[in-house]
Amino acid sequence: MVVYKFGGAAVGSPERIRNTVKIISGYKGKLVVVVSAMAKTTDALEELNLAYAERNIDEALNILSCIRDFHCETADKLGLSASIFDDMFQNTVSFIKENKIRDFDCCYGQIVSLGELLASLLLNECLNSCGTLSRLVDARKLVMTDSSFREAKIYFDQTEKNIRDAFSFSDVSCYVTQGFIGSNSDGATTVLGREGSDYSAAIIASAMSSENLTIWKDVPGVLSADPKLFSDAELLPELSYKDAAELSYYGAQVIHPKTVKPLVAKNIPLFVKSFLDTSLEGTKISANSKIRQNTPVIASKKNQILISILPKDFSFVLDDAIMQTISILHSFNVKIHIIQSSPLCISLCADDGRNTRLAVDELKINGIVLYNNNLELITIRNYTEKLIEKYSENKERLIMQRDRSTVRMLLK
Ligand code: ASP
Ligand code: MG
């Protein structure tokens, strides 16, 4: 059996959904399809959750009704009845009006997961109406997690067993399920972090000892840079697991950084292919593949914040002050991308956002905290001096770290 993962762009319009159905129907073996929310839906649901958290109920319901219109119109254009979504929208409306839980992260899980539920239902209905028999499986019954609602940790033993039981292929050869979502021991919905559907697909592929996993994207494969940002992007036909993991961590828009790990142990190849032109080879990520020597690879992370902490009492001379700083950031789920320390100052670069700002407030208890936001972190693999100049031209380099193969620059 194999696993296919389709992201938001692959199910973003009626035409795209038809195309996805064609790709799925074209595969004649046993298949598990993992799908994420339709394009932009997760962003809209995040806004909805924010409005809800601020008790702006009218605004929350307005956003929900836009999401509803978009999905119903899509269903309609695909010749399906828009009423398929009635229960899901009714549940969300009831949640918005009646829920008593105030925990932001918990509500996030309940609300933001709607995108995947809608898209998977739509794709499954569409497959069946086009003559490809498939069964919809609720990923919340499979993926068991802890209660870190927005970036849940998976309980692997139980999850893998659930996956193997659910995908028995006893009477269908195609299943559709959601990426990104799971549930905790109370049955409340949790999510695996933004763009986490790739990770879901990898967990399923690993549990099933799948022959391979294909992630279908709107680009020809893994590119050496984001073509929207850098004109010299080229296709990387092969990558090792290690390179893929590193590049995704650095911010290459390839796959979710956690995707590789579940595949490595079972040596499951990962293909990244274009759903726009299925004849292209794409990129193969596996144990033996190698990045072509010397091809520079550029990754960019926008919206970075540089936090500098100057302790009031010179305590950074002691390592435990550094440990404490990192553990505060960790407790807010903030991922640190760069650390630089000197005897009297520690500087960290991380994604900016709500949690980071909360962590900054907490850090202020220990010292003076300065920050600089709206920064870009550029990583160049196989760099040259010329490339460093080119990508930091007219910008201030706030931090620059380099080793033999990789340079990382925090730019303002
Ligand atoms: N729909 C979720 C997101 O946009 C998960 C995913 O796309 O993988 O973050
Ligand atoms: Mg996505």
Closest ligand (CA of 150)? 1
Asked whether residue 377 carries a pLDDT value surpassing 60, the answer given is yes
Q: Report how far ligand 1's centroid is from the alpha carbon of 211 (Å).
A: 24
pTM: 0.89
Q: Report how far ligand 2's centroid is from the alpha carbon of 256 (Å).
A: 9
Superfamily of domain 297-411: VC0802-like (3.30.2130.10)
With a 6 Å cutoff on the Cβ, whether 42 touches ligand 1 is yes
Fold of 2-211: Carbamate kinase (3.40.1160)
Asked whether residue 280 carries a pLDDT value surpassing 60, the answer given is yes
**Index of the ligand 1 atom closest to the CA of residue 197:** 8
Better pLDDT: 311 or 60: 60
Domains in the chain: boundaries: 2-211, 297-411
User: pLDDT value at position 232?
Assistant: 78
User: pLDDT value at position 56?
Assistant: 95
Span 45-65, average pLDDT: 97
What's the pLDDT tens digit per position in 324-343?
889 999 999 898 999 998 87
User: pLDDT value at position 315?
Assistant: 66
Mean pLDDT of the chain: 94
With a 6 Å cutoff on the Cβ, whether 115 touches ligand 1 is yes
Q: How far apart are CA 117 and CA 115, in angstroms?
A: 6
User: Going by CA atoms, what residue is nearest to atom 5 of ligand 1?
Assistant: 195
Asked whether residue 289 carries a pLDDT value surpassing 80, the answer given is no
Q: How far apart are CA 331 and CA 186, in angstroms?
A: 22
Q: How confident is the model at residue 238 (pLDDT cuts 50, 70, 90)?
A: very high
Q: Report how far ligand 2's centroid is from the alpha carbon of 246 (Å).
A: 20
User: pLDDT value at position 401?
Assistant: 96
Span 368-376, average pLDDT: 94
**Cα dihedral 278, 281, 283, 289 sign:** positive
Cβ distance 378 to 387 under 8 Å?
no
**Index of the ligand 1 atom closest to the CA of residue 7:** 7
Q: Which residues, other chains included, contact 11 with Cβ-Cβ below 8 Å and sequence gap of 6+? A: 17, 20, 35, 36, 38, 39, 119, 122, 123
**Index of the ligand 1 atom closest to the CA of residue 192:** 5
Span 279-304, average pLDDT: 87
